[in-house]
Structure 1
């Protein structure tokens, strides 16, 4: 099968969707398929292993970039003679689409309220993204929608009326060659690198600090009982703004803003807890990556990670991204656990992650492609008859 995978940015230097595009493409190739990646940019070092077709994008406003990428990516795909065109970015008209970025319709509802929400609804960028979503979910050309969580399956039904028979639930996958329990062996080296010694270490990773709930986590850090605990913030978000917040809360000396780091698995392996109190997103793969390294995760019940958490075994759920007291109490509870209980949880984390290797994700994705091809073949047969 010759497949096109569309993603605006394809990179191992970033987390989340950009990394997923690489992992999926690699695994599809391992399964014997020919894969062509269509996007605006790709890591140069990946060009030796992945076929890549570039997409020209209008380098003006945000809404124009999104609109032109969707239009031009589909045009590139239409000339390629592909058996399947699979979208990981908002591109109406693809054969199959995976809800990879947050659902914009829901995002606007939960992040902006009242007058702010109405004003944001008129923002050209948001209007463009909503238009692209309508084209995907309410259009006739996309035959299957892949979601990563039961939450998103419900959301696309509620917002766009997507029929259940078009939806396929496929959990995200983790690269177990990169993220594994063995990373804990480098924990002491990481602590020496960070100059923190043998104190509780909490890790947060993400680019959009506001959406991912870093403010709530900083407030929680200011209230927890362990005043020696350190917070490591990984990612290139609005660092100066949150450094000022940490200083206002009196915890500036306990928070390390490390920016983007290579070998992120080592930092997960050094951590006592991974915390992502996100407002909403389809399936934060960082939770699964941290678990693969033996680190329990705290996340919100309003994000796709809710399907992953087995409360008290591999992590914990809090009710929202603004539940500071809940988060504080949960961190306190975990840090006070006896060592044997913590080790038990570490084992549960690893076993959870091992259920979701990237290979499984790719196989299940191919099964969806085969459904679409079989459906297309049956339609042609019936028309010929």
Structure 2
């Protein structure tokens, strides 16, 4: 537990550099504030990296994959076997996330957090499996406290390794049939928000499928009254969600910004922030998902996403599309001329 306690000890953002950063932004060859939220992003990056000229040269997408026992009760439109198929697609470089990563110059690392299959023979797959999927949270806790702690620490180690190898921006992605159901339960307790406002289409449902999903999640929520963040994770979480939260916490400790993806990624961020409130200031929220409940979850985190693209795929696709904005914000502080130099040249 000492290792987990250390992970949750996130330093508060040091804002001593803020006046100098603001002066630098205002002194660029543009009217003050003319670049709007890109200036806000540049400020955030400077504070997170603790430097006057933030740099992002090696972004990486960490995709954590895991299965959910809730799928056995019918919360998903697809069988859990699709998780394995999509992991293989990611490893083959053929998923949407791979295509977007190539466009924005990001590495992709895929992690087996808890897929319900033996993937030990997959080349290029990081092995961090806690168990072959979680238990069915509608009838019992999704995981034990020991498994929850192990998942948080495993995610932290993945991020730590990436940062040690030079990664300076982490985008979080996931793959797991049934994980929108787990994320809805986490949101319900940690936002908190009424359960009906948290349940959405996930990977797609008929009206009958949505009714079944709501009934299963209502039964799961009634089974436990947990509200403490770690207990909520054990009761309702997923291994991939826990590892995303652990990766976020590890990056925050290292002063590395984290791009949070859509509904499930934001549930992981919500978990991380409820476990360690200072982690909030190291998060950059990439996009507003079309998944029901995401707007309320963002509000619970006082977060304003960078993009509105009506996406709800996951995999970290939305986070990847925000990478160019992060790079542009860095370039604003490092590449744009000073207004004083322009005026002097003008005579």
TM-score by length of 1: 0.36
Tell me which protein shows more strand as a share of its residues.
Answer: 1
Q: Which of these two proteins has the greater Rg computed from alpha carbons?
A: 1
